[in-house]
Amino acid sequence: MSMTGVLRPGHVQIRVLDMDESVKFYTDVMGLKPMGKDAQGRAYFKTRAERDHNSIILRQADRAGMDFFGYKVLDAATLDALEKKLQARGVKTERIAAGELLETGERVRFMIPTGHAIELYADKTAVGSGVGCTNPDMDVLDAPGICPIRLDHALIYGTDLEGSRDLFTDVLGFTLVERALLEDGKTDLGVWLTCSAKAHDIAIVRHGEPGKLHHVSFQLGTWEQVLRAADIMSKNRVSIDMGPTRHGITNGTTIYFFDPSGNRLETFAGGYDHYPDMQPITWTWDEIGAGIFYHDRKLNDAFLSVVT
């Protein structure tokens, strides 16, 4: 992977119902670093190893969910080129001025066929990780809370899965890593896509309503850190949806849980490396239970149906 276009997930804006309660949760339980508030009252956070100023933005609203998911691109020329490719595809784009998000440069926002707002940007103020960039110590996990490494991916639910899949692969340069099929053996139920060498940087599942969020995921380093996260969740009476367990799809270890507003989050560790020359992995309908939850090989109805 040459990493010359879209680099990685960069930020997500999450709607919360009670800002004070949410700030406390994302600080004390998630272990994210608060990075300030803006004039709109939005709260900003970063994870322990991210070098850019922010990745998680909270906005108080009357319903939970996701406002937008953003990807960082290589540079301003790449941002311009990708915007032109989107427009040539017939996608309407919007330029959002630098500074509208704290410490973030100009952004290109567009809607994908599943009804979600996606953003691209090239610039965000580099503040460094906790250990710095010169003769750094090891990033020892000694802070309170779960302390994820980075924002990892999102799983979105929407109507036109094919349209969004093709936009990511044909225009933005993502690669199809895995797919799960419906009972007809031909139609995609879900797809897992990457812009890097990770198992996925976004996943899309077919759903009867557009614009829904299934979860936002945070990367941890090891299975032991996933278990540590489970202990922290239990101690803080966090509502756990599923886990700790393992996925068949991506091979990652996982816990799904809810923030105080009902947004589903994930702690994710592991997963394999993927390169563009690899054939996508396919999961058939009769084995979809093992694909989602490899250990017990069955699906949780709430896991499939609860979205924000």
Domains with residue ranges and CATH for the chain: 6-121 (3.10.180.10), 152-305 (3.10.180.10)
Q: CB atoms < 10 A from the CB of 111, how many? A: 17
Backbone angles phi, psi at 88, to 5 degrees: -65, -25
What is the number of alpha carbons within 13 Å of residue 272 lying toward its C-beta? 13
Mean pLDDT of all residues in 75-88:
97
Q: What is the pLDDT of residue 164?
A: 96
Does 189 have pLDDT greater than 60?
yes
- Closest alpha carbon to 62 in 23, 25, 20, 16: 16
**Confidence grade of residue 135 (pLDDT, cut at 50, 70, 90):** confident
Instruction: Assign 297 to helix, strand or coil.
Output: coil
In sequence order, the 6+-apart residues with CB closer than 8 A to the CB of 132 are none
- The SS3 call for residue 234 is helix
Distance (Å, whole) CA 46 – CA 34? 7
| Cβ atoms within 10 Å, residue 255 | 23
Q: What does residue 258 show for φ and ψ, rounded to 5 degrees?
A: -120, 140
Q: Tell me the per-residue pLDDT of 96-122, one tens digit each, with 9 for 90 and over.
A: 999 999 999 999 999 999 999 999 999
Q: Quick one: tokens of 13?
A: 């804006």
Percent of the chain whose predicted confidence (pLDDT) is above 70: 98
Identify the band that residue 143 occupies on the pLDDT scale cut at 50, 70 and 90. confident
CA–CA separation, 16 and 57 (whole Å): 10
Query: Which one is predicted more confidently, 297 or 281?
Result: 281
- Cα atoms found within 13 Å of the Cα of residue 8, Cβ hemisphere only: 13
pLDDT, the chain, mean = 92
Collapse the DSSP code of 5 into the 3-class scheme (helix H, G, I; strand E, B; otherwise coil) and give the result: coil
H helix runs in the chain, sequence order: 19-24, 76-88, 161-166, 223-235, 288-292, 301-305
Pick from 11, 16, 85, 13: which is nearest to 46 by CA?
11
Length of the chain: 308
The pLDDT value given to residue 140? 67
- Ranges assigned E (strand) in the chain: 6-16, 33-37, 43-46, 56-60, 65-73, 93-96, 107-111, 117-121, 150-158, 175-181, 188-194, 202-206, 212-219, 240-246, 252-258, 264-270, 281-283
**Which residue has tokens 């922290």?**
232
First to last CA, the chain: 33
CB 293 within 8 A of CB 247: yes
Beta-bridge partners for 68: 13
- Residues designated as active site: 153, 200, 215, 247, 256, 266
**pLDDT value, residue 150:** 95
What average pLDDT does the segment 199-227 reach?
Answer: 93
- C-alpha closest to that of 204 among 176, 224, 231, 185: 176
